[in-house]
Amino acid sequence: MATMRWRILVDVTSLLAGCVLLWTGTLMWFILPPGSRGSHIWQMTRHDFGEIHQWAAVVMVVSILIHVFLNWQWFVGMINKLMNRSKPLTKRGRFIAGLATLIILIGLLGGSLLIANSQKVILQGGGGAGGGGRHRGGDHSQLVVPKPDSLDVVINVGH
């Protein structure tokens, strides 16, 4: 019975976190879009809602991990069924399959983050609190494009 209470708690937490993600994401996309400097709702800016959005995502990920842990036997049973196995995996086999899945997921996550970091473009200098000053006429910012050998190439951007 205690496991059922945990499942209900995790499901409700996931639902609430998902609702917060949906609400803050929609709000930041349509009501406070990028470039809406100074705009606010209830004395909260786009940045403030972004922080709420990020923490809701953390809660959602943690609740999904707990959900998978609580329902691990069901996952193993479904995998056995999908693989047409008459005998379930041994405890060692389940451990190896789980470890392999974890390694693959971490590899995909880490690899995608490395690729994203190598494609990052940083604006330096320029106008004011926004940092980049890309949207102001007459401003001359510098565009820094990281190269794979970690040497930065600086390109002057004139408007």
pLDDT digits 0-9 by tens, 20-58: 999 999 888 888 888 877 787 888 888 888 899 999 999
117 vs 107: which has the higher pLDDT: 107
Please, what is the Cα angle at 143 between 30 and 156, to 5 degrees? Answer: 130
Whether the predicted model's global pTM rises above the 0.85 cut: no
Residue 157: the pLDDT is 54
| Mean pLDDT value of segment 77-105 | 80
35 vs 112: which has the higher pLDDT: 112
Q: How far is CA 142 from the centre of its chain?
A: 29
- Number of neighbouring beta carbons within 10 Å of residue 126: 19
What single letter denotes the amino acid at residue 92?
Answer: R
